[in-house]
Structure 1
Amino acid sequence: MLSGFILTFTYRDQLPFKGPRPFYQARFARIYPGILLGLALCVPTTLYLLNGSDPSLLTQWYALKNHVILSLGVSLVCQLLLLNAWFPFAAVNQPWNGPSDSVSCEAFFYLMFPLLLRKMLSMRLARLTFACIVFFLIQGLWIAFLQAFLPLSRSGFLVVGLPLTRLFEFVIGIYAAILFHQLREQGVSRHALGIKLVSIALIALTVLGLWRPVSPAFYLASPWFAALILGLALLERPVINVLNRRAFIRLGEASYSLYLIHVPIAYLAYIAGFRQSNGWIAMLFAVVASLLIFTFYEEPLRKRIRTRFSAISRRVGHRDPLSAAFAAPTSKENQA
C-alpha cells in the first residue's frame, strides 16, 4: 500500500513522458541485489541442513521431507525469477529465503504499476472511487471463496501470499496518492483534514486490532491504512518530528536489507549456538549488518545497475516502444 502511494507520488508525472522502461530498470536495481544477497546468505544453512546430524531441521525450516534436491532446485529458480509467491506450496516458497515471497508480490505490483496508473489517472475521481470499492468487495469474495472451498494448508497461503489476493492494497495506495494530488492542487490547506484522517484511522485500526471481526485482519484494515497514509501526507508540519531525524531515515532506508537478511541470519545464529537467552545479539547484528549492506552493497550496486541501464538505453538510441501509449494525455478529470 505504501509502495503504491510512494510510486504514484514519484512517477505520476514521469511515466507519461519517459515510458515504463526507466521505471522497470529502477525497480530491478532496487530489489534484485537484495534478493541475490539473501540467497547467498542461505547457502551455508542449506549445506548444513543437507549434511547435518539433525534432519528434523530440514522439515522445520524448509518444510522438506521428500525429493529434497528437486524441491531446493525448483525453489531456488522460483526465487531467482521472483515467482515464488505464485506457488502455494511450502516446498517451493519456504526453502532458502522464505521472506522473499513478499518481494515476489511486490515484483508483480511493479510490473502492473504503469498500466494501473495510466488507467486510474484517466478516470474521473467519482468513477475511480466506485471502482476501488468494487475491487475491495471482489477481494473479500475471493478470500471467502478460498477459505470456504480449499483446505487451510492451501487457502492460508493463497489468502496471505498470492499477489492477486493482495493487489487491492497496492491499488488503494495508488488511489490515495491520486487523491492527495487532487487535494493539494486545490491550493487550500488540508492540514486539518490530515489530522482528522489520522485520528479516525488510528481509532479504527485500534478497534479492528482488538476486535478482529474477520480473518484475515488485513482485509478490513487496508482502507484505514490508506486513510492513515493520506492523512499523514496531508499534514503540513509533522506532529512528532522524531521520525525525521537522520538516524531513523537511515534505518528506514536499510529496512529492505533487514527484511531479506533477518531469517538467514537467524538460521546461522542458531547453527552457531545462539538461543533464546542470547538471541538479542543476533537481532542487533542483523540491524547493524543491514545498515552496512545498504551503505556498501545495496546502494552502490543499485547506482551501478542504473548507470549500466542508462548507457545501454543511450546506445539503443530510441524510446521505449511502449512510451507512445503512456504518453497519451492523462485525465485532468480526476475530479468529482
Structure 2
Amino acid sequence: MRHNVPGSRALAVPSGRDRLPSLTGLRFWAALLVVAYHLSRQVGQIPGASELAWYGRSGVTFFFVLSGFVLAWTYDGRQVPAKVFLRRRFARVWPLLAVTTALSVGVWLALGKAVSAKAVAATLLLVNAWIPDRVMLQGGNPAAWSLSDEAWFYLVFPVLMALPAVRSGRGRRRIWVAACAGVVLVWLSGALIAAGVPRVWALDYLPLTRTLQFLLGVVAGLAVARGWRPPIGLWSAVALVVGWHLVLIPWSEAVPDALWYGPYHASHLLSTPLFALLVAAAAHADLSGRKTGLGGRWSIHLGHWSFAWYLIHEIVIRVWVARHGRPEGVPDTAVVWLVVIVVSLALSACAYRWVEHPLERRLRGNGPGVPSGGGHTGDVRHTAEAVRPN
C-alpha cells in the first residue's frame, strides 16, 4: 500500500505486524531511560549514566506522543466503530495491568506493607490518575498510573480524529504550534499551583495535562501518513533529545526540583516537541526504506517486551532493596543495576509470551470484526505505557 499525497513523494507502507520497526526499537530505549531513572533514584547512582537519566521520567512523554502517532497513523482512513476500537485498546493494556497489579500487591503484602484496596480498585478501573492523592496515584502498581491517562486518550481519540482541523494540513500545522505553546504554558502554570502533591499531580499525572502530548503525536502521525517529511532526520532528532537531557544536568545543579521552574516538571513537558520530531523522523525513515539500526530482530523483541518491562521493573527493584538494601560504591551499584535489568527483562519476556500477547489475541478474537475499507490494514502494536515519577 502507498500513501499518494499531492506534491509529496509516495511512501511505501511495509507489511507485517511491525510495519514501523524503528518505532518498536525506540520503545526499548525509552523504556531503558525510565528504568535507569528508577535505578538511579531507588538503588544508587552510576556516574555518567545517572546524570543523563536523572530525569528519565521524560520517557513517559515519549510513550504518550508515540501512542497518538501510532494510533493516528494506523486508523487514518479506516472506518472503525468506537466500540471496536475501545475493545482493542482494552485487550491491549488491561490483562497485563491486572496480572502485574496482582504481583505488585502480593510483593507489598509479603514485605509487610499496607495496601489500599481503594487504590488498587482505582488502578484496575483506570481512574487513579484523576485523583490528587499520592496513595491513589501509586495504586496497586506505581508504574501503572499512566494507563489511566491512556484510557482517557483512547476515549477522546475518535473525537480528535473527527475534528476538521485535524483532517487538514493547515489545521494540523496550527495544532502543532498551539500544542507546543500549550506545553510551555502548562509548565509556566506551575507558578500558580502550590508545591508538593497538588503541583506534581496537576503537571505530571492529570490526564488533561498530558493530552497535549498525545495530541501532538496524533497530528504528527496523520501528517506522516499523508506524506509529510519531518524537517530533520532521525539522528538529528536523536541528537536533540540527548542534548535536551544533557541540558538538564547543569539546570538541576542550579535550580532545585522543588521550585516550579526547576528541571523536574520541565523534563517531561518541554520535551514534547522533541519526541514528536523523533517519532516522526523514525517513522519516515522506515517508510522511505532507509536502514536505521533500530529495527533488527533483537530490537523488535526488546520493543515488544517494553510494556511488561514498565510494569515489572519497579517491582523487582522494590524486592531487591527490601531484601538487600542499597549497595555501597559504584562497582556494587553497577552489579545491582545489571541484575535488576536482566531479571526484570527476563520476567517481561515471559509475561509478553505467556500473558500479554496470548490474552490480547484471545480478547481481540472474541470481539466484533471491522469492515474492510480504505486506509491501513491490520493494527500496529504499540506501547504507550509509562512509569511513576518519583
Which band: TM-score by shorter chain? 0.7 to 0.9
Map of 2:148 onto structure 1: 104
**What is the alpha-carbon distance in structure 1 between the residues aligned to residue 98 and residue 130 of structure 2?**
19
Note if 1:294 corresponds to 2:356: no
* Offset at residue 123 of structure 1 (A): 4.2
Q: 1:180 to 1:45 in 2, by over 3 A?
A: same
Structure with larger Rg: 1
Taking only aligned residues, the RMSD between alpha carbons, in angstroms, comes to 2.6
1:29-71 Cα offsets, whole Å, 9 max, x none, are 0100111111111232232344xxxxxxx5xxxxxxxxx66xx
What aligned pairs does 1:1-336 form with structure 2 within 5 A after superposition?
1-14=65-78, 17-50=79-112, 58=113, 72-119=116-163, 123-183=167-227, 196-212=232-248, 215=263, 216-235=266-285, 236-241=288-293, 243-273=294-324, 276=327, 277=332, 279=336, 280-310=338-368
Q: Which amino acid aligns with 2:246?
A: L
SS of match in other structure, 1:237? coil
5+ long unaligned stretches in structure 2: 1-64, 252-260, 372-390
More off after superposition, 163-172 vs 229-238: 229-238
Q: Which has the higher contact order (CA 8 A, sep 6+)?
A: 2
SS of match in other structure, 2:290? coil
* Offset at residue 122 of structure 1 (A): 5.5
Map of 2:52 onto structure 1: none
Q: TM-score, length-normalised on structure 2?
A: 0.66
Map of 2:378 onto structure 1: none
* Offset at residue 153 of structure 1 (A): 3.0
**What is the alpha-carbon distance in structure 2 between the residues aligned to residue 112 and residue 299 of structure 1?**
25
1:129-177 Cα offsets, whole Å, 9 max, x none, are 2233223323332332233332233202321221111111111111111
**What is the alpha-carbon distance in structure 1 between the residues aligned to residue 344 and residue 118 of structure 2?**
28
Q: TM-score, length-normalised on structure 1?
A: 0.76
Contact persistence 1:120–1:128 (CA under 8 A):
no
Q: 1:46 to 1:119 in 2, by over 3 A?
A: same
1:306-329 Cα offsets, whole Å, 9 max, x none, are 12223xx79xxxx9xxxxxxxxxx
Contact persistence 2:164–2:171 (CA under 8 A):
no
Contact persistence 1:84–1:92 (CA under 8 A):
yes
Map of 1:322 onto structure 2: none
* Offset at residue 200 of structure 1 (A): 4.4
**What is the alpha-carbon distance in structure 1 between the residues aligned to residue 223 and residue 322 of structure 2?**
50
